[in-house]
């Protein structure tokens, strides 16, 4: 198996982008379609935060403020957002156990069926209490979608396509959010109940086609190898690759088996506790940190962008127009990030310089927000769009690639779920803070909130520089070995590896021992002279 695994690893390194697309076109197609579950989630999640600036919704569920307008109170904004995050944490933790036991496809199908029923609560809601229950319950399947799509993309793709298919998940977020905002913008003139019921009803469009995609999609070959189903893993690879390409599936499966064996040696088990033992502790820290940076770099502004624009003094229609531009940047930013990664810029570098750019934008937003004029409001809005550019070219997109690459295969789902769980916990805290920071009936910081997040962005820059390694261009087995060797984050990519030197040395020793043994038992040939 060693020689086959070495050949499979060498084939992965030699495979470029176009060769990868020709060899794995079906893997790319299945991954892209599975990731559309995040389009559905992006559509769903963005509705709530933008409904706070939506006249039809606020007039139905809001309370009168001192200035005569209706507002959703800060405590309810905090509660509704936190309910969704609490549900997502439960979904994430459950996903780590369920998906590893029954497989990615079956878990996805079950979560989609749950969504069909839970959308009824949104559609027929008559109070904020019902919306709170709906947010919590829908958060459970949302938590599953958040990481299952990334895990699946990472495990069906070769090294050459891994970063593109995992970061496509972020593009799906942007697409869903953009569609959601476009729907809200189109219904902005409606003042009756259908102004907010129609967006909720449109959530039923997504689950049925996604169920069909999940039903027919091949299972992850890495998951099948972990379950000991080697022949099924090979058949799955046959469904993910195209015929006629120079690819030996036996070598690829051997590489997967060797990686799984190596990780068994490094990590005794595959439970959540094992994520915090030995070498895995550092890997878990890297994944937790990568997700945390997404929250702490100032992304609270993005989630509340429409509300922020409105509180900054812009009209409701202008606020929605700018938010649509922002989410358009989110979608297009993924494509630019692909170009940058294809140009040889590493994930670590994009993360680091992206955070530096976002910190500068936050300081400018805070500075112009100290001036209470219409021009200053527009300047803050434009700088928030610039912040979105920096975010999507780096942290917003690259995170999905990093967390799937820095996790070990045996603990992939659980490690990513823990990271996303931390993301949701931070989201609860940030949601509470943001609702009070921006609400005119609470702290009313408006754009000056940017100073607060600029400080956290600086902490993110420091952590990235000292702790985040560079996994681009490395196979999963090579990443395993570098973590085992405790290589510094700043020297991760520069450290040369001969993955199979030890195994080949052992193989040569075994062959020599067998050869000596044969010599020892070889029958002695004697010359018998004929007697005449």
Read off the pLDDT of residues 473-518 as tens digits, 9 standing for 90 and up. 888 888 988 998 899 998 887 776 665 555 555 555 555 655 555 5
The answer to whether residues 279 and 483 touch, using CB atoms and an 8 Å cutoff, is: yes
Read off the pLDDT of residues 227-248 as tens digits, 9 standing for 90 and up. 999 999 999 999 999 876 667 7
Does the pLDDT value for residue 527 go beyond 50? Answer: no
Could you give the percent of the chain with pLDDT greater than 70? 88
Distances (CA, A) of 66 to 63, 72, 137, 526: 10, 13, 34, 114
pLDDT of residue 355: 96
Which H or E element spans position 174? helix 159-186
pLDDT band at residue 217 using 50, 70 and 90 as cut-offs:
very high
Q: Average pLDDT of 452-465?
A: 95
Q: Which CATH number fits domain 2-491: 3.20.20.70, 1.20.1250.20, 2.70.98.10, 3.90.700.10?
A: 1.20.1250.20
The answer to whether residues 30 and 38 touch, using CB atoms and an 8 Å cutoff, is: no
Does the pLDDT value for residue 61 go beyond 80? Answer: yes
pLDDT of residue 331: 72
pLDDT band at residue 525 using 50, 70 and 90 as cut-offs:
very low
pLDDT of residue 531: 38
Tell me the domain boundaries of the chain: 2-491
C-beta atoms surrounding 168 within 10 Å: 25
* 77 closest CA partner among 433, 513, 475, 485: 433
3-state secondary structure of 70: strand
Q: Which residue has the higher pLDDT, 320 or 334?
A: 334
pLDDT band at residue 140 using 50, 70 and 90 as cut-offs:
very high
Q: Which residue has the higher pLDDT, 356 or 377?
A: 356
Q: Average pLDDT of 256-272?
A: 77
Does the pLDDT value for residue 203 go beyond 80? Answer: yes
pLDDT band at residue 141 using 50, 70 and 90 as cut-offs:
very high
Q: Which of the given ranges, 77-86, 106-115, 250-259, 378-387, has the highest pLDDT on average? A: 106-115
Distances (CA, A) of 288 to 161, 275, 282, 474: 24, 11, 10, 21
The answer to whether residues 425 and 195 touch, using CB atoms and an 8 Å cutoff, is: no
pLDDT of residue 270: 75
Q: Average pLDDT of 510-531?
A: 50
Distance of CA 311 to the CA centre of its chain: 31
Q: Which of the given ranges, 105-114, 166-175, 471-480, 517-526, has the highest pLDDT on average? A: 105-114
pLDDT of residue 506: 56
Any bridge partners for residue 64, and if so which?
70
- Who contacts 531 (Cβ-Cβ below 8 Å, separation ≥6)? none
pLDDT of residue 307: 67
pLDDT band at residue 532 using 50, 70 and 90 as cut-offs:
very low
**Residue 218 in tokens:** 């091949």
pLDDT of residue 121: 94
The answer to whether residues 111 and 59 touch, using CB atoms and an 8 Å cutoff, is: no
* 252 closest CA partner among 275, 230, 278, 229: 230
Which H or E element spans position 224? helix 221-226
The rounded distance, in Å, linking the Cα atoms of 159 and 27 is 13
pLDDT of residue 41: 84
**Residue 229 in tokens:** 């189903």
pLDDT band at residue 91 using 50, 70 and 90 as cut-offs:
very high
- In the predicted model, what is the mean pLDDT of the chain? 84
**DSSP per-residue codes, 51-64:** HTT-HHHHHHH-EE
**Residue 38 in tokens:** 């995040």
Does the pLDDT value for residue 4 go beyond 80? Answer: no
- Model-level pTM? 0.81
> For 261-275, 342-356, 395-409, which range has the lowest pLDDT when averaged over its residues?
261-275
> For 9-23, 282-296, 501-515, which range has the lowest pLDDT when averaged over its residues?
501-515
3-state secondary structure of 474: coil
Read off the pLDDT of residues 74-84 as tens digits, 9 standing for 90 and up. 788 878 878 88
Read off the pLDDT of residues 411-432 as tens digits, 9 standing for 90 and up. 888 999 999 999 989 988 887 8
């Amino acid at each position: 198996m060693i020689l086959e695994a070495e050949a499979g690893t060498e084939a992965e390194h030699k495979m470029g982008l176009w060769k990868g697309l020709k060899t794995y076109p079906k893997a790319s197609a299945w991954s892209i379609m599975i990731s559309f579950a995040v389009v559905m989630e992006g559509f769903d999640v963005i509705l709530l935060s933008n409904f706070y600036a939506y006249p039809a919704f606020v007039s139905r569920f809001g309370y009168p403020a001192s200035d005569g307008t209706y507002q959703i109170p800060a405590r309810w904004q905090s509660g509704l957002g936190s309910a969704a995050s609490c549900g997502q944490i439960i979904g994430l933790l459950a996903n780590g156990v369920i998906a590893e036991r029954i497989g990615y496809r079956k878990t996805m199908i079950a979560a989609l069926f749950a969504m069909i029923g839970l959308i009824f609560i949104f559609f027929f809601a008559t109070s904020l209490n019902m919306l709170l229950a709906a947010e919590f319950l829908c958060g459970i399947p949302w938590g599953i979608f958040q990481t299952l799509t990334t895990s699946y993309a990472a495990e069906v793709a070769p090294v050459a396509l891994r970063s593109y298919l995992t970061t496509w998940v972020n593009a799906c977020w942007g697409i869903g959010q953009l569609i959601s905002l476009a729907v809200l913008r189109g219904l902005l003139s409606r003042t009756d109940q259908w102004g907010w019921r129609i967006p909720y009803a449109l959530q039923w469009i997504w689950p049925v086609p996604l169920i069909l995609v999940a039903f027919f999609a091949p299972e992850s070959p890495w998951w099948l190898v972990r379950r000991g189903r080697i022949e099924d893993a090979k058949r799955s690879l046959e469904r993910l690759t195209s015929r006629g390409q120079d690819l030996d599936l036996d070598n690829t499966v051997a590489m997967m088996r060797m990686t799984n064996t190596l990780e068994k040696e490094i990590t005794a088990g595959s439970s959540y506790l094992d994520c915090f033992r030995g070498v895995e502790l550092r890997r878990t820290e890297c994944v937790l940190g990568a997700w945390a940076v997404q929250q702490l770099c100032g992304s609270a502004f993005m989630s509340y962008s429409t509300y922020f624009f409105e509180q900054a003094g812009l009209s409701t229609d202008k606020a929605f127009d700018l938010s649509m531009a922002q989410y358009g940047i989110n979608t297009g930013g993924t494509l630019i990030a692909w170009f940058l990664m294809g140009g040889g810029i590493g994930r670590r570098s994009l993360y680091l310089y992206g955070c530096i750019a976002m910190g500068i934008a936050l300081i400018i937003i805070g500075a112009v927000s100290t001036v209470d004029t219409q021009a200053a409001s527009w300047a803050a809005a434009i700088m928030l769009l610039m912040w979105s550019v920096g975010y999507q070219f780096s942290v917003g997109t690259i995170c999905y690639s990093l967390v799937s690459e820095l996790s070990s295969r045996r603990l992939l789902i659980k490690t990513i779920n823990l990271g996303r769980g931390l993301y949701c916990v931070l989201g609860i805290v940030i949601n509470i803070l943001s609702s009070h920071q921006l609400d005119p009936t609470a702290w009313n910081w408006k754009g000056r909130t940017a100073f607060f997040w600029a400080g956290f962005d600086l902490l993110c820059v420091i952590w990235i520089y000292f702790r985040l390694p560079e996994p681009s261009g490395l196979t999963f087995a090579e990443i395993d070995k570098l973590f085992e060797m405790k290589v510094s984050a700043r020297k991760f990519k520069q450290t040369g590896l001969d993955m199979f030197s030890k195994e080949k040395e052992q193989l040569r020793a075994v062959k020599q021992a067998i050869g000596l043994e044969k010599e020892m038992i070889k029958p002695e040939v004697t010359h018998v002279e004929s007697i005449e």
